[in-house]
Amino acid sequence: MTAVAENPLVEGLERLPVHPTALVIFGATGDLAHRKLLPALYNLAHQGALPERFELVGVSRSKYAHEEFQQIARESIERFSRTKPDPAVLDGLLADMRYVPGVFDDAGVYAELDRTLDELDGKAGYPLSRVFYLSTAPQFFPIIVGQLGKAGLNSAGSRETRAVIEKPFGYDLASARKLNADVLEVFDESQVFRIDHYLGKETVQNMMAFRFANALFEPVWNRNYVDHVEITAAEDIGIEGRAGYYEGAGALRDLVQNHMLQLMALLTMEPPTAFEANRLRDEKLKVLEAIVPPRIEDVSAMAVRAQYGPGVHGGVQVRGYRDENGVAPDSRTETYAALRLQISNWRWAGVPFYLRTGKHLARKLTEIAVQLKPVPHLAFQSQGSVGVQPNQIVLTVQPDEGVSISLGAKIPGPRMRIRPVNMEFHYGTSFVSQSPEAYERLILDAMRGDATLFTRNDEIEALWGIIDPILTAWKQDVRTAVAQYPAGSQGPDEADSLLAPGHVWRRL
């Protein structure tokens, strides 16, 4: 298949060449493929970012002919693409799409996949790079990787071969280590791309530009000037019929262990010597290893869990978590988690980092708020002021992407009265182009072999090492009732106990 497009390469996507590639999606009929992966591939084709020779193969349990799968893919792209599909580009993308049906532990599926890929190589006249994208339930990751190894698909001559593995990567530290061992028996670390789609978001990548492309912030980016940091990932929806997944995961595994700790690492790491995969990930790893995991007996003082109860959201009465379909009436799975963490290194020693995430909160918001220490002395009379407040730097990841810096300014008039004002930058008004979806960047980087925005094996284990004692403590504590908060609220009052004197959670 030749990707059809009239547009030139999108700026920022042409750093490394994308070699002719065959992309194999395991779980190609699943929700992630329909909503994210297939639309992302279309938009890459529309932008002219796919290689001239690009082949797509779907593998899943459902029995479809090639033409049936092409039609399913077409409907998914037409429904979920961020841009209105161009018929010519869409036809070019789908024209030669292949489909291999079967269960993931069947060796015959991999023999058929091998035959299909060899056929595509023959059609191209040269060996295509191969990218295997595991978009399946996590229990199938080791099965698929093992079968790829047995079929000899993990390495094929001089061609580049890679495996992209979706989250969650492991269920706890022990399972993450086991999965790493299973994967690295088949693939070399350089071939493995563990995906966290948050790292593909433009606003998350802009954190690095914000920090390292502006000399303005580096002098204050340390314990001498920063009072505390608050990282919030709030959702205004419930579990949306995903009880089967959520009951086994919970908020801590779902968002804190990966997305939120990654945001914390990017915010606090030292400048890498180059924007290159291993150098960047080395700096993130240093931060993660400097976050001392809590002792199990100390977890109650630094972590809070809760569940949403009945409440009102958007003027609509909603039911509590334990009343959701598929949720046990005595469930102890948290829909809200808040943590207080410390980074034990020279730059950040003594600065508290507050993390919170939850379902059915007042509004949807992902942001990082860095509060600086108050000024040591006011040389002027501030009577009648709205209030002299410490400066804040707020990086909003979603939904209103941008950066805001709060300053104290004089209110017009004869008296010296102070009020906070904001200097703001918004992506939507500052750039005329639409931001690409995270999966567009990550799929392209995987085809390039650029692992900068992917998670390395030692990172994965460091992330789980921070969270594992909390999971263990919560599992062992069967007597303490799980706190409740009304749906549509700010969260549980118990989370206030994590805050140092004078600190308050930002309102959602």
- The residues annotated with a catalytic role in the active site are 259
Q: What is the DSSP letter of 37?
A: I
Q: CA 444, CA 462: separation in Å to the nearest integer?
A: 26
Greatest Cα-to-Cα distance within the chain, rounded to the nearest angstrom: 84
Q: What DSSP assignment string belongs to 228-290?
A: EEEEEEE-SS--TT-HHHHHHHHHIIIIIIIIIHHHHHHHHSPPPSSS-HHHHHHHHHHHHHH
Q: CA 406, CA 418: separation in Å to the nearest integer?
A: 12
Helices (H), 95-219: 107-124, 141-150, 173-186, 202-212
Give one word for 122, left, alpha or beta, with left for phi > 0 and alpha for psi -120 to 50.
alpha
For the chain, what is the total number of helices (H) and then of strands (E)? 15, 17
Q: CA 395, CA 365: separation in Å to the nearest integer?
A: 11
Give strand pairing partners of 371: 228, 392
Amino acid at 410: K
Amino acid at 394: V
CA atoms within 13 Å, Cβ hemisphere of 408: 16
The pair of three-digit structure tokens given for residue 170, joined into one six-digit string: 């492991």
Give strand pairing partners of 161: 130
Closest CA to 443 of 81, 85, 18: 18
Q: Is the dihedral of CA 448, 450, 455, 458 positive or negative?
A: positive
**Could you tell me if 96 and 122 are in contact, meaning their C-beta atoms sit under 8 angstroms apart?**
no
The 3-class SS string of 58-111 reads: EEECCCCCHHHHHHHHHHHHHHHCCCCCCHHHHHHHHCCCEEEECCCCCHHHHH
Q: CA 229, CA 106: separation in Å to the nearest integer?
A: 49
Q: CA 491, CA 473: separation in Å to the nearest integer?
A: 21
Helix (H, G, I), strand (E, B) or coil at 23: strand
Give strand pairing partners of 142: none
Q: What is the DSSP letter of 54?
A: E
The pair of three-digit structure tokens given for residue 146, joined into one six-digit string: 């093992």
Angle, nearest 10°, between helix axes 261-268 and 277-290? 100
